[in-house]
């Protein structure tokens, strides 16, 4: 049989639990528990809105469609800049280890504000307008992205391993840092290898 | 004296660049105001929608600038500024309302917690007093029993 001290302990425990239950709405205002993992997503999809059918053998003058998407899981609304860049095999990509973007200038960009848990997607049509092969090198002079024509003037040497003249269309994700009040590389990029034929 | 007639307003590179810079700074300010309103607990979905439209104009301005289309760049930057007009002020108002609501909710929940806890503890204490007295009475009514477990 329980003695009076045991019952006292039970009553004290019930009292403490009750007080905690009554205090929980106020504690909710004061205590902010850390949420889950916070991250942003960046993706490209093929013309059928699926992760397939990406353009790879690209003919000058023909138009190709892909979709660019960004997902925000950072716990608050975020402001992103999405930069589309174009390189040949000798030019640098972003450095994921050093978390630095490619030094190549962006050709095309999107600016988007996405609330937490939201996604954004936009079509990206591109075509190589002027390309020529001279002396074993391919020259891409102009690239059209979403009906804006950019002069790129990029040569590419013949890739004997992959048998083609390869360029890379890549997309970097940047985010606005509210503390530093500037856009910063978010260390995410996706790319598409393009074997250019004239 | 040479006669020059301006048929249309041509926008120079510097003019377009300055307008884009202004639009970009206004966009950043509006974004900061919107995020602060969100942190205060305001519903910012309408403002985010407007910011996305402004963001489209800003991106188009920058894309046009890159290809040397300064008139279009200037026009898009102007559109961006027009779309951003009032967003920071609206965000500030929403932030104020949300903070007032949040303060009200906090004081209400604090009052509920204090009164609820007090009432619960008072009730528990009353129950404990009754229980204790009943328990003591029960103990006093019990007859002592002699244990006979000693071995002879």
Query: φ, ψ for residue B68 (rounded to 5)?
Result: 80, 15
Helix axes B13-39, B87-141, angle to 10 degrees: 20
Predicted confidence (pLDDT) per residue in A28-46, tens digit: 888 887 778 899 999 999 9
Residues 6 or more apart whose CB falls under 8 angstroms from that of B15 comprise B70, B74
* Cα dihedral sign, A92-A93-A96-A98: positive
Question: Do the Cβ atoms of A127 and A194 come closer than 8 Å?
Answer: no
Name the pTM for this structure: 0.83
Asked whether this complex has an ipTM greater than 0.90, the answer is no
Residues of chain B with Cβ-Cβ distance to A106 below 8 Å are: 66
Check if B134 contacts A (Cβ < 8 Å).
no
Task: Among A24, A79, A149, select the one facing B31 at the smallest CB separation.
Answer: A79
Query: Whole-angstrom Cα distance, residue A118 to residue A165?
Result: 38
Per-position pLDDT tens, chain B of length 152: 444 333 346 789 999 999 999 999 999 999 999 999 999 999 999 999 999 999 999 999 999 999 999 999 999 999 999 999 999 999 999 999 999 999 999 999 999 999 999 999 999 999 999 999 998 888 888 877 766 665 55
B122 at interface of A, judged by CB pairs closer than 8 A: no
| Residue that wins the pLDDT comparison between B147 and A50 | A50
Element (H, E) at B19: helix B13-39
Which of A7, A25, A113 faces B51 most closely, judged by CB atoms? A113
Of the pLDDT bands very low, low, confident and very high (cuts 50, 70, 90), residue A111 is very high
- Which of B28, B48, B132 has the CB atom closest to A115's CB atom? B48
How many DSSP H helices and E strands does chain A contain? 1, 10
Write the DSSP assignment of B53-114 as a string of letters.
Answer: HHHHHHHHHHHHHHTT-HHHHHHHHHHHHHHHTTHHHHHHHHHHHHHHHHHHHHHHHHHHHH
d(CA B74, CA B77): 5
Contact criterion met (CB < 8 Å) for B120 and A18: yes
- What's the pLDDT score for residue B8? 41
B145/A138: higher pLDDT:
A138
Residue B60 CA to residue B71 CA, distance in Å, equals: 12
Residues in A 135-194 with any Cβ partner in B closer than 8 A? 146, 148-151, 176, 178, 181
């Amino acid at each position: 049989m329980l003695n009076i001290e045991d019952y006292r302990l039970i009553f004290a425990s019930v009292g403490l639990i009750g007080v905690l239950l009554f205090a929980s709405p106020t504690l909710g205002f004061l205590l902010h528990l850390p949420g889950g993992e916070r991250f942003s997503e960046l993706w490209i999809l093929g013309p059928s809105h699926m992760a397939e059918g990406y353009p790879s053998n690209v003919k000058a003058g023909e138009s190709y469609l892909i979709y660019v998407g960004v997902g925000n899981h950072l716990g608050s609304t975020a402001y992103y800049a999405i930069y589309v860049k174009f390189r040949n095999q000798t030019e640098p990509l972003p450095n994921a280890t050093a978390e630095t973007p490619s030094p190549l200038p962006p050709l095309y960009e999107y600016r988007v504000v996405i609330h937490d848990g939201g996604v954004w997607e936009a079509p990206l049509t591109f075509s190589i307008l002027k390309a020529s092969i001279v002396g074993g090198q391919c020259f891409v002079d102009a690239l059209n992205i979403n009906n804006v024509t950019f002069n790129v003037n990029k040569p590419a040497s013949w890739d004997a391993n992959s048998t083609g003249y390869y360029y890379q269309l890549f997309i970097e994700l940047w985010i606005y840092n509210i503390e530093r009040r500037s856009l910063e590389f978010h260390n995410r990029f996706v790319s598409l290898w393009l074997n250019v034929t004239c | 004296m040479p006669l020059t007639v301006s048929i249309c307003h041509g926008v120079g590179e510097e003019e377009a660049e300055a307008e884009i810079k202004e639009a970009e700074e206004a966009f950043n300010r509006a974004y900061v105001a919107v995020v602060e309103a969100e942190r205060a607990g305001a519903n910012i979905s309408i403002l985010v929608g407007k910011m996305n439209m402004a963001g489209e104009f800003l991106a188009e301005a920058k894309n046009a600038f890159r290809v040397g289309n300064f008139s279009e760049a200037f026009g898009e930057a102007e559109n961006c500024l027009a779309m951003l007009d009032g967003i920071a002020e609206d965000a500030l108002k929403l932030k104020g309302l949300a903070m007032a609501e949040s303060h009200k909710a906090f004081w209400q929940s604090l009052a509920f917690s204090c009164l609820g806890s007090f009432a619960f503890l008072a009730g528990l204490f009353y129950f404990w007093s009754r229980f204790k007295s009943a328990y003591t009475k029960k103990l006093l009514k019990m007859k002592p029993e002699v244990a006979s477990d000693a071995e002879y």
